[in-house]
Amino acid sequence: MPAVTRLGDGCTGHGCFGGRANDQASGDVFVNGIGAHRQGDHWVTHCCGPVCHDSTLAAGSSTVFVNGKQLGRIGDPVGCGSASAAGSGNVFAGG
């Protein structure tokens, strides 16, 4: 099972767009004391030269939901083409 992604955890990046952190998560569900990152939650802007974009978590667990949204995990896709790359060391979610 993949580790759960939390507020501030990073992504893989894609092409020449480097990895960056997410900046949105649940305000009332926590993993290791940090907000749980969910489908639709925001990732900060990253750039490749003059071209920049932000994104949201495209999909998460199909069986674990937080506030009615799929829970994010390492490997889950970010809408721009990257994927979640960091998460909890001891909390995991299937689906």
Question: What are the sequence ranges of the domains in the chain?
Answer: 1-89
For the stretch 10-51, pLDDT in tens is 999 999 999 999 999 999 999 999 999 999 999 999 999 999
Q: How much is the pLDDT for 70?
A: 99
What distance in Å separates the CA atoms of residue 78 and residue 7, rounded to the nearest whole number?
14
Q: Facing residues of 69 across strands?
A: 66
What distance in Å separates the CA atoms of residue 63 and residue 4, rounded to the nearest whole number?
13
For the stretch 44-80, pLDDT in tens is 999 999 999 999 999 999 999 999 999 999 999 999 9
Q: How much is the pLDDT for 81?
A: 97
Type of residue numbered 94: G
Q: How far is CA 36 from CA 33, 46, 47, 51, 71, in A?
A: 9, 22, 25, 29, 7
Q: Distance of alpha carbon 35 from its chain centroid, rounded? A: 11
Q: What fold characterizes domain 1-89?
A: Tumour Suppressor Smad4 (2.60.200)
